[in-house]
Structure 1
Amino acid sequence: MNIREDSTTYTESECSELLRRIHEGNISTGGLRFVTICYGIVGFIKFLGPYYMLLITKRRQIGSIRGHNVYAVSKTEMIPVPNATVNSSIADSEDENRYKKLLCTVDLTKDFFFSYSYHVMLSLQKNLCNNEPGQVLYETMFVWNEFLTRGIRSHLQNTLWTVALVYGFFKQATLSVSGRDFKLTLIARRSRHYAGTRYLKRGVNEKGRVANDVETEQIVFEDVPDGLPAEVTSVVQNRGSIPLFWSQETSRLNLKPDIILSKKDKNYEATRLHFQNLVKRYGNPIIILNLIK
């Protein structure tokens, strides 16, 4: 995949004029044609034929954190990127169409959210203290389109053209206490590592990543006009599967299947890696609450 970025900054009129010239210069081959409105590039993917560009074509605002709007994905499109070197028979092959259908089973309009100006993959505290570049932010455990954007980020060495998608839950409500209005925001961020459905994913993997790893954050701030000082509080907690090698066999007849423990990690190396990662992310002390009855 070859991508080039024009470093020139254009006004709206200059951009329209440039597109007009490109259209007129290529009129013999059809010129430019309108494809879709785009609110963000999710990434690029290639199966057997051409590359496909995944776009957000509709969005809806679901909240705002101190002036930074947060959006949910309402509609997406997968646009093929033409390439003369790609055999048309491969691009229209049965296998190619099967892979495309498999990708389309991932519904980005359910529980994916993003922001153009706020790092929703990070907690409020990290947003206030963080100076990491965009490339590093995409590599965090809560950005689900990290792989899809890897190519364009590598070519352009920036993240200006893509949006980082977080998968989980975002809900915001206004509360009134003693005549003062507050905004309550609840955010749940699911890890992209060792992800899977209940019973099928349990325990920890060799890299110390646990199944169903979710970071939950509660943010409360006074609902005052943007620009005015306001007190803000944030509480973060993390939940995940027990960091041991264990599993459960699914059964419709047994609502509480037996827990099967594996003894392949006698030195608890994966468990150690998991807690090292927790300390790196949140610091000490690590307080564990056992949810097993």
Structure 2
Amino acid sequence: MESSAAKYCCDNINNHESSSQSQTSTCMQKFRLYETRSNFYMIGRDKSRTYWRLLKIDRLDPSELNIREDSTTYTESECSELLRRIHEGNISTGGLRFVTICYGIVGFIKFLGPYYMLLITKRRQIGSIRGHNVYAVSKTEMIPVPNATVNSSIADSKDENRYKKLLCTVDLTKDFFFSYSYHVMLSLQKNLCNNEPGQVLYETMFVWNEFLTRGIRSHLQNTLWTVALVYGFFKQATLSVSGRDFKLTLIARRSRHYAGTRYLKRGVNEKGRVANDVETEQIVFEDVPDGLPAEVTSVVQNRGSIPLFWSQETSRLNLKPDIICMCL
């Protein structure tokens, strides 16, 4: 087990503040999905409703993922006018129809038939770190991308439905959390020193939907439309010490590499990943009205299975099964 601690005072934090505020103002946090016979149109906006963007997803190709992003930044009225023109241009095939409100794309997945789009349709705030809100997933929805008229017979096959049911057994409403403007997959120390683009951040060991978002990130070369889901534990509480209120935040991030149940995954694998690797971070800062404390303390601990090639046979009769060491 390794442990590291760092205390960042006012000067270090303020140097990072301008970039954090800029990121908060430009990230999109709410989306509306519309459909025509040939395309999905997703409208995204920032929290202050001053930044509007358009994403277009083709629905006529049953096997390929074709996504295009409009490079224009719209106002609310310009966006409404754009949707009106799209509706009028598609009147002959049913026009533009509203599908759902969502709060980010979890990713796209393909089994044997068409692509499916995974969306967060409900969220709940579970805390904040220095003015950056952190959310948990409350509800998700899986929407087939191609139009029903171009879907092949595979889309309703027995194997395809079995794979869809298997995916639905993954409950994203339990123990998954995300933030639009704070990199919850990184510790506070790394956040204050980090200059990596969003593309690279998704490829860290703690972003569980890295593969699901790989297609859209590759097409768009940005992460404006997706959310990075971290799996683990997030809890925040307010404490009072000598008349001063403090926020205590506990975050546990579980690695997506070589994860599994206790007896099925042990030791290290051929790639050097240890089983059930977890990074636990404790953050303490003063609870101030503007959410920007002058001092903040972060302590990080890492734990994982013993980095050797070993295993244990599961047994209901033997509560302490023998440890089996393996030599390669």
* TM-score using structure 1 length: 0.86
The structural deviation recorded for 1:63 is 0.2
Aligned equivalent of 1:183: 247
Cα distance in 1 between the residues matched to 2:322 and 2:293: 54
The structural deviation recorded for 1:17 is 1.4
Deviations 1:88-121 (A, max 9, x none): 3111111111110010010000000000000000
Cα distance in 2 between the residues matched to 1:2 and 1:55: 17
Cα distance in 1 between the residues matched to 2:297 and 2:258: 31
The structural deviation recorded for 1:87 is 4.2
The structural deviation recorded for 1:27 is 1.6
Q: Residue 140 and residue 85 in structure 1: after superposition, are their counterparts in 2 closer, same or farther (change >3 A)? A: farther
Cα distance in 2 between the residues matched to 1:228 and 1:59: 24
Deviations 1:179-223 (A, max 9, x none): 110000000000000011110100000111000100000000000
CA contact (8 A) 2:250 2:281 kept: yes
CA contact (8 A) 2:253 2:280 kept: yes
The structural deviation recorded for 1:227 is 6.0
> Secondary structure of 2:225's partner?
coil
Cα distance in 1 between the residues matched to 2:280 and 2:202: 19
CA contact (8 A) 1:224 1:230 kept: no
CA contact (8 A) 1:50 1:83 kept: no
1:162 aligns with 2:226: yes
Could you say what the CA RMSD is over the residues aligned between the two structures, in angstroms? 1.3
1:153 aligns with 2:217: yes
Cα distance in 1 between the residues matched to 2:148 and 2:241: 64
Q: Residue 228 and residue 163 in structure 1: after superposition, are their counterparts in 2 closer, same or farther (change >3 A)? A: closer
> Secondary structure of 1:19's partner?
helix
Q: Residue 108 and residue 228 in structure 1: after superposition, are their counterparts in 2 closer, same or farther (change >3 A)? A: closer
Out of 211-220 and 89-98, give the one that drifted further.
Answer: 89-98
Cα distance in 1 between the residues matched to 2:155 and 2:87: 26
Cα distance in 1 between the residues matched to 2:193 and 2:268: 30
CA contact (8 A) 2:130 2:292 kept: no
Q: Residue 26 and residue 173 in structure 1: after superposition, are their counterparts in 2 closer, same or farther (change >3 A)? A: same
Q: Residue 201 and residue 228 in structure 1: after superposition, are their counterparts in 2 closer, same or farther (change >3 A)? A: closer
CA contact (8 A) 2:199 2:217 kept: yes
CA contact (8 A) 1:144 1:167 kept: yes
Cα distance in 2 between the residues matched to 1:131 and 1:226: 25
Cα distance in 2 between the residues matched to 1:168 and 1:227: 24
Aligned residues: 260
Cα distance in 1 between the residues matched to 2:279 and 2:162: 34
Higher relative contact order (CA 8 A, sep 6+): 2
The structural deviation recorded for 1:229 is 4.2
The structural deviation recorded for 1:230 is 2.3
CA contact (8 A) 1:49 1:86 kept: no
CA contact (8 A) 1:24 1:31 kept: yes
Q: Residue 70 and residue 227 in structure 1: after superposition, are their counterparts in 2 closer, same or farther (change >3 A)? A: closer
Cα distance in 2 between the residues matched to 1:227 and 1:245: 46
CA contact (8 A) 2:185 2:204 kept: yes
**Which one of the candidate residues 63, 79, 85 is aligned to 2:149?**
85
Out of 137-146 and 11-20, give the one that drifted further.
Answer: 11-20
Cα distance in 2 between the residues matched to 1:159 and 1:228: 26
> Secondary structure of 2:97's partner?
coil
> Secondary structure of 1:103's partner?
helix
Cα distance in 2 between the residues matched to 1:227 and 1:182: 11
The structural deviation recorded for 1:49 is 1.2
Q: Residue 228 and residue 65 in structure 1: after superposition, are their counterparts in 2 closer, same or farther (change >3 A)? A: closer
> Secondary structure of 1:35's partner?
strand
